[in-house]
Amino acid sequence: MSMPIRLPTLPAEVDTARAILQSHLAGSLCAIYRHGSAVADGLRPHSDIDMLGVVDQPIAPETRRHLITELMAISGRYPSDPAERRPLEMLIFLRADLEALPYPARCEFVYGEWLRHDYEAGAVTEPVSDPELTVVLAQARQEAIPLIGPTATDLLPAVPKADVRRAMKDGLPTLMTSLSGDERNVLLTLARMWHTLATGEFVSKDRAADWATARLPHTQAAILTHARNDYMRGTTRDWQACQPALRQTASALHEQVQANL
CB–CB of 45/87 below 8 Å?
A: no
- Pairwise CA distance, residues 183 & 169, whole Å: 19
CA angle 64, 66, 72 (to 5 degrees): 100
Q: Which residues contact 159 (CB under 8 A, 6 or more apart)?
A: 101, 105, 134, 137, 138, 141
Distance separating the N- and C-terminal Cα atoms of the chain? 39
Q: Which residues contact 3 (CB under 8 A, 6 or more apart)?
A: none
73: amino acid identity, one letter: A
Q: Tell me, yes or no, if 89 is annotated catalytic.
A: yes
Say which of 13, 70, 89, 108 is annotated catalytic: 89
The residues assigned a catalytic role are 89
